[in-house]
Structures are given as structure tokens and as C-alpha cells.
């Protein structure tokens, strides 16, 4: 981990101009809040939480209740070029809508526009299990068993729904503010 951080710092020094300008654009985009009208709620989309293959994950909240937080996966339809990718994305959205379990990230609403899919999901404020493990450096047997139980509980639910995750790893396991694990 230290090596990766060091490399990123060195790359930043070598490509100072390009890195700074891309960071400034990212900060400008995060400063602009976007309002999306849902079926029963109006969402405000704000800062970027992460990036994926087809889009970004941003923080969102209910315009009437800022304590009601969501993670909003934003998929640009223009990034989904291949028909197989399009089929996979639609299948994933259908599967996400069916999942309602304490240890599985819940999807509350999917809004489709001409250019974008907005997927509003559970916000997991503590981030990835991977980062938590790195920060702690060592997990007790009790803490490990606590997480393991939640993983098994969630996987059993998913399998009973006829779904196989196929990419279970600590980077894909999230923790809520109350330290509940979500697949």
C-alpha cells in the first residue's frame, strides 16, 4: 500500500500540470449539485464517492431531508457502447431492484433519462471493507467472525434469489456508519 501511494505522489510531481487541471475539473463538477426528480422524492446529487467502468458513484440526499443519504450510481448511456454491456447493465439493474436484505446494498429507485441512468442505493458511509482492514492492520477473530457471518447471511439470500455475485472481495463489500456489512 505504501508503494502505491508513493508512486501516485511521484506521478503527480512528474505530470503536475495535467494532474492539477484534472483535479480542478473534478472539484468544479463536485461543486455543482444536480437535482433529479424521482417518483416520490426529489434528490440532490453532490460530491463524487468513486468511479467505475461506466460512470461514477456520487453522494445524494433527499431534498426535503438532508439526513436521508443515498449513493447514486450514474451510468452514462454513451459509455455503454457494446450490446453485451447494455444487456449486462439492464440485467444488473433488474437484479438490484429485487434485493431487499440487511446485508445487501438496497436499490431504492432507478431513474432513466435519454442520456443517463441514475441508480439510488444505500449509502455506506464507512466505505469498503478493504480500506477498513488496511486501516485496522489486524482484525480480531471476533470482528472477523462478525463480518463473515454478515457475508454468509447476504450470500445465502442472494443465492436463494437465484443470483450469483461472481466478484466477492473486500473492495465490493461496504460498511455502513453503524458497521453493518453490505454486499
- For 15-161, where are the alpha helices, taking DSSP H only? 16-31, 83-98, 129-136, 141-160
First-to-last alpha carbon distance for the chain, in angstroms, is 24
User: How many of the other CB atoms lie within 10 Å of CB of 118?
Assistant: 22
How far out from the chain centre does Cα 62 lie?
Answer: 18
d(CA 86, CA 117): 12
Active-site positions read 167
Sign for the pseudo-dihedral over CA of 112, 93, 120, 109: positive
d(CA 104, CA 89): 18
Task: Tell me which residue of 163, 159, 151 sits closest to 92, measured CA to CA.
Answer: 163
Amino acid at each position: 500500500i505504501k508503494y502505491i501511494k508513493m508512486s501516485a505522489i511521484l506521478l503527480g510531481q512528474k505530470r503536475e500540470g495535467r494532474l492539477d487541471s484534472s483535479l480542478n475539473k473534478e472539484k468544479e463538477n463536485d461543486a455543482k449539485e444536480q437535482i433529479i426528480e424521482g417518483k416520490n422524492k426529489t434528490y440532490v446529487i453532490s460530491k463524487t464517492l468513486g468511479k467505475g467502468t461506466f460512470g461514477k458513484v456520487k453522494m445524494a440526499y433527499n431534498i426535503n431531508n438532508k439526513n436521508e443519504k443515498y449513493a447514486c450510481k450514474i451510468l452514462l448511456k454513451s459509455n455503454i457502447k457494446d450490446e453485451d454491456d447494455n444487456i449486462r447493465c439492464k440485467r444488473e439493474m433488474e437484479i438490484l431492484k429485487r434485493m431487499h436484505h440487511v446485508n445487501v446494498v438496497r436499490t431504492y429507485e432507478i431513474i432513466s433519462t435519454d442520456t443517463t441512468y441514475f441508480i439510488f442505493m444505500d449509502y455506506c458511509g464507512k466505505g469498503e471493507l478493504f480500506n477498513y482492514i488496511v486501516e485496522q492492520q489486524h482484525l480480531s477473530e471476533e470482528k472477523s467472525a462478525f463480518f463473515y457471518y454478515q457475508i454468509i447471511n447476504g450470500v445465502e439470500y442472494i443465492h436463494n434469489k437465484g443470483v450469483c455475485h461472481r466478484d466477492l472481495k473486500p473492495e465490493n463489500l461496504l460498511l455502513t456508519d453503524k458497521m453493518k456489512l453490505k454486499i
